[in-house]
Amino acid sequence: MISMMGGLLLRRCDPDSDMGVIVNLERAIFRPSEQYTLGFINWLCRNCTRYSFIAIMDGKPVGYIISCIEGFGRGHVISVGVLSEYRRRGVGTELLRRSICEMVRDGVDYVILEVRVSNTPAITLYRKLGFEVRDLLRAYYSDGEDGYLMVLDNERFRGFVNRYCSVTKQPT
């Protein structure tokens, strides 16, 4: 377990024991149309374990992040969520920071994520961390809502690394 600020603990996702935790968080955080299938969550946890974490506060799981490295040098935040009663307490920021810094350690040059155009709180958080909207993804979500492709790259990426990551990118 990794100790963090104010009673927040981040624990790396364990694909053998955390499937139920992730599924329960998905159900509590997201609408049914936004939830991933159990099979996809299982695949993500098994293939993206190094960059995926569960946030624990008050002795219970309160959020998670699943991220992967895709191809050469691209990090992808697949899913991040925090229970509503624990939002605006730094949990999402810490999950993103830890996951992205782990990907930096393994050689990413930039990070992408997708977000619903209506998810103003998440967009605000991502912008605060240096992400910028790069593209509009028409009808990206299963319910037909558009999404934004947000990217953390170039100077903004270097600024994030300098501010949040105590490690530097490993040579490739």
- CB-CB contact of 41 with 13 (8 Å): no
The fold of the 2-164 domain, in CATH, is Aminopeptidase (3.40.630)
Please list the pLDDT of the chain residue by residue as tens digits (172 residues): 454 556 899 999 988 888 889 999 999 998 887 888 888 888 888 888 899 999 999 899 999 999 999 988 999 999 999 999 999 999 999 999 999 999 999 999 999 999 999 999 999 999 999 999 999 999 999 899 999 999 999 999 999 999 999 865 554 4
Q: Where are the domains of the chain?
A: 2-164
Q: pLDDT tens digit string along 28-78?
A: 998 887 888 888 888 888 888 899 999 999 899 999 999 999 988 999 999
Counted residue by residue, the chain has a size of 172
- Residue 148 backbone dihedrals phi, psi, to 5 degrees: -110, 140
Helix, strand or coil, per DSSP, at residue 140: coil
Specify burial of residue 6 (Cβ count, 10 A radius: 0-12, 13-18, 19+). exposed
